[in-house]
Amino acid sequence: MGTFGEKFEDPSRYRQMHSTIAKTWYISFDQIQKEDPLAAEYLSFMACIDRSNIPQSLLPLTGSLLQQIKAIGTLKGYAFITERQRALPGLGGEAYFDMHRLVYIMLARWLEDHGEKKGWVVKAAERLEEVLPYGGHDEKKTWSMYLPHAIYLATLEIAVDEATRASLFERIGYCQSTLGQYSEAGAMHRQALVLRERSMGNEDVLTLKSKNNFAVALGNQGKYAEAESMLRQTLMTREKTR
C-alpha cells in the first residue's frame, strides 16, 4: 500500500490521482478498523494534533505493549505514517512519526462526517494535560517535543471546553517561559486569562492566577509598568474576596 507515500511533482497528475487515492484510503482505513482497532485509534488521535514529529510517548496509553508495536507497524505498513528516527540526542529510544498530509486531511474529514471529531479532540486534549507539565527543567527535552502539539490543539475552538483550553494555554505559557520564549508565553497566559474571565468571572481563583501569570509574563518582557498595574489589580481583587 505505498500509494500514500508517493510524491507527485506534476499538479495535474496529483489532481487526477486524488480521487483514486481517497477511495484507496477509505478502503484501507475500513480494513484497519476491523483488523487492528488500536491502529485506527492511534490514527484518529494523530488527526487531532500536529501531523509532524509526533512522539510515540504522546499516543494514548491503551493496549498491551505487543498491541502497541503491532498498531504502529500497521500504520507504517500502510504508509499512513513514517518514522523519523529512533534516537534523538538525550531522548533515549523515543520514536517520532509524521502523518502523510493527504491522510491527515482525509482522516479529519472522515472523523467529522462520522461525528467522531469532537470526541477525539477531547481525548487528545486530556492526554496533553496529562503529559505537559507547568514548565520547569525536569524532562525539558521530552516535554518540549509535546509543546507544538499542545499549541496546535489549544488554538482549536471546536470541541474542547474553555476550562480545558485555558489549562492548556497556561501549561504552554509556563513551558515557553522555561524556554525563554517570553513574548509567546505572555500571549498564552493572556489567552488563558480571557477564557477564564469569560467562563469563571473576574474574581475566581483560577482567573486571578491567570492574571498573575500574565503580569509575570509582562515583567519578563520588560513591560514593568503594565506588570505592576496588573499585579495591583490582582491583589486588590484578592483582598476584596477574602
pLDDT at 93 over 60: yes
pLDDT at 3 over 70: no
The DSSP element (H or E) to which 220 belongs, if any, is: helix 205-220
For residue 81, tell me if it sits in a domain.
yes
Do 189 and 169 meet the contact criterion of CB atoms below 8 Å apart?
Answer: yes
**Residue 100 lies in domain:** 1-116
Rounded to an integer, what distance in angstroms lies between the CA atom of residue 192 and that of residue 211?
9
Give the pLDDT of residue 6: 45
- Rounded to two decimals, what is the model's pTM? 0.85
Q: At what angle do helices 224-240 and 205-220 cross, to 10 degrees?
A: 160
Rounded to an integer, what distance in angstroms lies between the CA atom of residue 27 and that of residue 95?
27
Residue of 169, 156, 172 whose CA lies nearest to 206: 169
For residue 10, tell me if it sits in a domain.
yes
For residue 108, tell me if it sits in a domain.
yes
Q: Specify the CATH number for the domain of residue 26.
A: 1.10.10.10
Rounded to an integer, what distance in angstroms lies between the CA atom of residue 203 and that of residue 178?
28
What average pLDDT does range 191-204 have in this prediction? 94
Question: How far from 180 is each of 136, 140, 183, 184, 217, CA to CA, in Å?
Answer: 11, 12, 9, 9, 11
Give the pLDDT of residue 89: 54
Give the pLDDT of residue 87: 52
Rounded to an integer, what distance in angstroms lies between the CA atom of residue 24 and that of residue 5?
13
pLDDT band with cut points at 50, 70 and 90 for residue 239:
confident
For residue 121, tell me if it sits in a domain.
no
pLDDT at 155 over 90: no
Give the pLDDT of residue 26: 86
Query: DSSP letters of 68-80?
Result: HHHHHHHHHHTTS
For residue 223, tell me if it sits in a domain.
no
Rg (CA), the chain: 21
Contacts of residue 36, defined as CB under 8 A and 6 or more positions apart, other chains included, come to 70, 71, 74
Q: What is the pLDDT of residues 16-70, one digit of tens each?
A: 546 677 788 888 999 999 999 999 999 999 999 999 999 999 999 999 999 999 9
Counting the structural domains of the chain, the total is: 1
Residue of 178, 184, 180, 173 whose CA lies nearest to 213: 173
For residue 133, tell me if it sits in a domain.
no
pLDDT band with cut points at 50, 70 and 90 for residue 5:
very low
For residue 183, tell me if it sits in a domain.
no
What average pLDDT does range 146-174 have in this prediction? 90
Give the pLDDT of residue 8: 41
Do 154 and 165 meet the contact criterion of CB atoms below 8 Å apart?
Answer: yes
For residue 210, tell me if it sits in a domain.
no
CA-based end-to-end distance of the chain? 64
C-alpha cell at 41: 485509534
Rounded to an integer, what distance in angstroms lies between the CA atom of residue 188 and that of residue 197?
14
